[in-house]
Amino acid sequence: MARRKRHSRSSRKSVSSSRKVIASKDKMKMILWNLVLSVILSIISAVLYKMVSNELLKNFFAMLGLIFGLVALAFLIIYAIFVVLRILKK
């Protein structure tokens, strides 16, 4: 059996690598809104964790608090990256 020739995909890679991330005001506003929402949900989960006496609900709110806290941390990192990109753009 003869092998088929493989076409190089270097032209596709050059197109996708030339994209630039633009830190627009709309993206910054959306990231900040998601950050605030995640922090608020994390705080609500922590308060409910302290108030509930049922062990199952206590574990549930602890996990929710951890998840929302990690999501808030991720949005904080993304927001910091966009601020740096905006500063470097000027």
Q: What is the pLDDT of residues 37-61, one digit of tens each?
A: 999 999 999 999 999 999 999 999 9
Asked whether residue 50 is assigned to any structural domain, the reply reads yes
In the three-class reduction of DSSP (H, G, I as helix; E, B as strand; rest coil), residue 13 is classed as: helix
Sequence letter at residue 4: R
Asked whether residue 51 is assigned to any structural domain, the reply reads yes
Asked whether residue 62 is assigned to any structural domain, the reply reads yes
Asked whether residue 14 is assigned to any structural domain, the reply reads no
Asked whether residue 42 is assigned to any structural domain, the reply reads yes
Asked whether residue 64 is assigned to any structural domain, the reply reads yes
pLDDT value of residue 25: 83
Task: Provide the number of structural domains found in the chain.
Answer: 1
pLDDT value of residue 56: 95
Asked whether residue 19 is assigned to any structural domain, the reply reads no
54 is in which domain, residue-wise? 24-89
pLDDT value of residue 46: 95
Distances (CA, A) of 79 to 2, 26, 59: 53, 12, 30
Q: Is the pTM above the cut of 0.85?
A: no
pLDDT value of residue 55: 94
Asked whether residue 71 is assigned to any structural domain, the reply reads yes
In whole angstroms, what is the distance from residue 46 CA to residue 56 CA? 15
Q: Which parts of the chain have pLDDT scores under 70?
A: 1-2, 5-21, 23
